[in-house]
Amino acid sequence: MDLLNTLVDKGLRRELPTRDEALAVLATSDDELLDVVAAAGKVRRHWFGRRVKLNYLVNLKSGLCPEDCSYCSQRLGSKADILKYTWLKPDEASQAAAAGVAGGAKRVCLVASGRGPTDRDVDRVSKTIETIKEQNEAVEVCACLGLLSQGQAERLRAAGADAYNHNLNTSEGTYGEITTTHTYADRVDTVQQARAAGLSACSGLIAGMGESDEDLVDVVFSLRQLDADSVPVNFLIPFEGTPLAKEWNLTPQRCLRILAMVRFVCPDVEVRIAGGREVHLRTMQPLALHLANSIFLGDYLTSEGQAGRADLEMIEDAGFEVEGTDTVTLPEHRAAAAGCGSHEGGGCAAPGGPTPEEASAPEASAPEASVPEARTDLVAVRRRGAGTDLAPNA
């Protein structure tokens, strides 16, 4: 396909595809799927070889969030039967993190429900980061605490945090349909604060919430413009008791096309398969490793993932290798860059973006697809690890 050859060439040059090209990837047929995976795989291997970075989630505080994000089992008014507990102590969080590190995780992600941290919360998390770093000096620590206030990112950086996660989740145009208690602009501001403080920006999306192809392309182009170093791609887990419990819109093929589109738009960043891969990719997970260079090991915040050992076996059987702590994840030009590392020279609107004519051109649309079967049997609420007396899955 001429389209795929063009996208591979652009990916190797770190050149931004046009919107029409990104939409065309999502509109490819199942007959073309392996060609799409192979093409995006060339870009993935060029920048990241066959390495897979492992990340491990520690849910520091679960449930009882005052925000109304429709996708979240911890949201205001959620009826989901999830674990609910207040802040883990620093040594408890460090023990949970150690299980992930022992399983091969290179990065520990410290997450807490809530609108955003108080200054006291930042002190608490800072102590947790320091404790983890004392016991595992080489491990990366990413904090995910919600919307940041002025100066909080700097304090987390001073405590030893390497990165901050705050996902955009969906397009600016449809954000208000998903969440009403804060805005898309609030999320963008937090990502920018993290970058300004010297933290690596981690920001991604959630697919499967009923969004259009145009919404998916919009949010990924926004992530490219924000210059996020890590882009987690979540696939909605439709928890019973949440407003999106009936949204079963994804097939394994659709998930692979989304990951391929993200790789073409963000060729040299850490693309991470995040929540929902077991639910929606299922037996196609190994193919996704040809598109993404990063996954979460074991369980997620409120749901269970596949066994950590199964993750490691999948990586090995697919011909990939776990990335070691002595390896820099990002390509040299990104790891060393103080500013935007997605291209050479210029700002984020450098040549390679869509022209005014392309931006106004008719957009491709995906072919009609049958509604996938709801696999509620694959949604398992987490009952082990942080906040419990049971051993974690790592």
Which of the following is catalytic: 19, 44, 75, 109? Answer: 109
Instruction: Write down the pLDDT at residue 302.
Output: 84
Residue range 234-251, pLDDT digits in tens: 999 999 889 999 999 999
Binding residue ranges for [2Fe-2S] cluster: 109, 142, 202, 272
Which of the following is catalytic: 14, 44, 202, 266? Answer: 202
65 a catalytic residue: yes
- d(Cα 295, Cα 180) in Å, to the nearest integer? 30
72 a catalytic residue: yes
Binding residue ranges: 65, 69, 72, 109, 142, 202, 272
272 a catalytic residue: yes
Does pTM top 0.75 for this prediction?
yes
pLDDT (average), residues 280-306? 94
- d(Cα 72, Cα 244) in Å, to the nearest integer? 9
Binding residue ranges for [4Fe-4S] cluster: 65, 69, 72
| Residue 343 confidence (pLDDT) above 80 | no
Q: Which domains can be identified in the chain, with CATH numbers?
A: 2-324 (3.20.20.70)
| Residue 364 confidence (pLDDT) above 80 | no
266 a catalytic residue: no
Which of the following is catalytic: 69, 144, 255, 266? Answer: 69
Residue range 165-211, pLDDT digits in tens: 999 999 999 999 999 999 999 999 999 999 999 999 999 999 999 99
pLDDT (average), residues 99-122? 95
Which of the following is catalytic: 14, 107, 142, 277? Answer: 142
| Residue 361 confidence (pLDDT) above 60 | no
With CA atoms as reference, report the closest residue to 117 among 109, 107, 125. 125
pLDDT (average), residues 372-393? 84
Which of the following is catalytic: 44, 65, 257, 263? Answer: 65
CA dist list (Å): 370 to 16, 233, 254, 317, 379: 32, 23, 12, 32, 21
255 a catalytic residue: no
Which of the following is catalytic: 44, 72, 107, 382? Answer: 72
